[in-house]
Amino acid sequence: MVNGKISETQFVMIITAFLQGSVLALSFNATTKHDTWLAVLAGFILFIPVTLCYASLAKRFAGLNLMQMSEAILGPYWGKGISLMYSWFFLILLALNVRDLGNFYTIQFMPETPLPFFIIVFAAVCAYAVYIGIEVLARLGVFFVAIPFIIIPFTSLLLFKDMSISAFLPIFSAPLKEFIHGTHIITAIPLGETIMMLMFIPSLNSTERITKNALLGLFFGTICLLAVSVRNTAVLGYTEYIWSSPSLQAVRLIDIGNVLTRLDVLIGIGHTFMMFFKCSLLYYCVVLSLAQLLRLKTYTPLILPIGLIAITLSMIMNASTVEREATGDAHLMQASLFSLIFPPVLLLIAKLRNLPDKRNYSEKSN
């Protein structure tokens, strides 16, 4: 059913590009303000063991994806329950991200265009990407990863004269409670969403070096996250946390001799590319997981209905950006459950039940 082969490099690129999807225009400066770079570092360090846990699951159950794993670990009923919840989680993530992109356009660039227009056009492209398959997406990953690695250094260079190191002082001024909150957001939302990597395990060429590759992808993604938060803080100073998109605001300040101005469009284009990649992967996760639950031979019949559900969900889930912000903490808890709590619990149960049973498993995979 899953017919695709992803090389090791492509796997790293998928994780990096997926993380970069959250980076270019969105920002996590609101709670930790100028200490965000510290929160990113702390989040990265805290997330390493979680990644190790994902990799360990992938190694233990080589050839199985998250849905099959949970069924193998918890048995058919409980396993299906967890699988269904994960399908729901991926659907929510898809809807949230599609909505984010739509709002990004309506807030920053085209306030008069109706939101559904962006969402439908965007979702249609993602649907096509899912239709042609994960293998194509994986090949595209290499190209997509390059985009932020060009845009971020380029904009930082042009903004160099506007940066001031004193914006980072005094270090660690955020109250501990808020710092923990900020770190939690970084860990559970941009980094924790890499739980989706467990959906691709059967498509991988080999899972031998998956630990190293997953960490490498995480590392590259975090570097971008760090670079963006450092740039924004250094450039924007006191105002960094009032903007809906600090990155865009920072880049708007670029003014090189009255010629090179309004480069926010550059960020807009890059962000659209990266969100396309991220949303396509999430879309793929939703349809694949549901196809497996429903024991379908292929996931293609699900693409259209899931797309319609995701579009509708994204439109109705929040009435306004204010509501979105207010429900942020609820989503944080939900994301923590799926990305930080379930996987270690699954691994623990697998260890206790001594799974996978080697004999049983080799029969299955043949």
Partner 1 sequence: MKKLRPMLIIIIAFVTLLTLPGCWSAKGLSSLAIVTGIGIDKGASLDQLLLTIQIVKPSQAQVPSSEGGKSRGKAFWNATCAGETMIGAIREVTHLIGKEPFLAHSNVIIFGNDFATTGVKKTLDFFLRNPETQPTALILVASGRAGDILNVESEAEILPVQNIIKIIKGAAAISQFKVITINDFTNNLMSKTTAPIAPLVTITQNGNRQNIYVSGLAVFKKDKLVGALNDMETRGLLWTTGDVKKGLILITSPEDTGNVAFEISKSKSKVTPEIKDGRVIIHIEVRTETNLVEQTSADKIYFPVVALLEERQAEVIRQEIMAAFDKSAELSADIFGFGDIVYKNFPAQWQSLEDHWDEVYPRIDLVLDIKVTMRETGLVTQPVSPEK
| Torsion angle defined by CA atoms of residues 249, 25, 242 and 338, in that order, rounded to the nearest 10 degrees | -170
Integer Cα distance of 76 and 36 in angstroms:
43
| 87 contacts: CB under 8 Å, gap ≥ 6 | 286, 289, 290, 293
Q: In the window 155-174, what residues touch partner 1 (CB under 8 A)?
A: 166, 169-170, 173
Burial of 182 (0-12, 13-18, 19+ CB in 10 A): buried
Q: Which is nearer to partner 1, 71 or 100 (CB)?
A: 100
Cβ count within 10 A of residue 171: 10
Question: Taking a C-beta distance cutoff of 8 angstroms, is the pair 95, 317 a contact?
Answer: yes
Question: Does residue 334 sit in helix, strand or coil?
Answer: helix
Q: How far is the CB of 30 from partner 1 (least distance, A)?
A: 14
Q: Which residue type, as a one-letter code, is found at position 162?
A: D
Q: Which is nearer to partner 1, 171 or 341 (CB)?
A: 171
* Residue 325 near partner 1 by CB under 8 A: no
Q: How far is the CB of 158 from partner 1 (least distance, A)?
A: 13
Of the candidates 234, 266, 221, 208, the one whose C-alpha atom is nearest the C-alpha of residue 55 is 208
* Residue 262 near partner 1 by CB under 8 A: yes
* Residue 238 near partner 1 by CB under 8 A: yes
Q: Which is nearer to partner 1, 229 or 245 (CB)?
A: 245
* Residue 206 near partner 1 by CB under 8 A: no
* Residue 253 near partner 1 by CB under 8 A: yes
DSSP string, 141-191: HHHHHHHHHHHHHHHHHHTGGG--GGGGPSTT-S-HHHHHHHHHHHIIIII
* Residue 176 near partner 1 by CB under 8 A: no
Q: In the window 118-157, what residues touch partner 1 (CB under 8 A)?
A: none
Q: In the window 88-117, what residues touch partner 1 (CB under 8 A)?
A: 107-113, 117
Residue 253 structure tokens: 């300040």
Q: Which is nearer to partner 1, 30 or 134 (CB)?
A: 30
Q: Work out which of 33, 252, 324, 331 binds partner 1, going by CB under 8 A.
A: 252
* Residue 300 near partner 1 by CB under 8 A: no
Region binding partner 1 by CB under 8 A among candidate stretches 146-154, 251-259, 322-330, 343-351: 251-259
Q: Which is nearer to partner 1, 32 or 194 (CB)?
A: 32
- Contact residues toward partner 1 (CB under 8 A) are 107-113, 117, 166, 169-170, 173, 236-239, 242, 249, 252-253, 255, 261-262
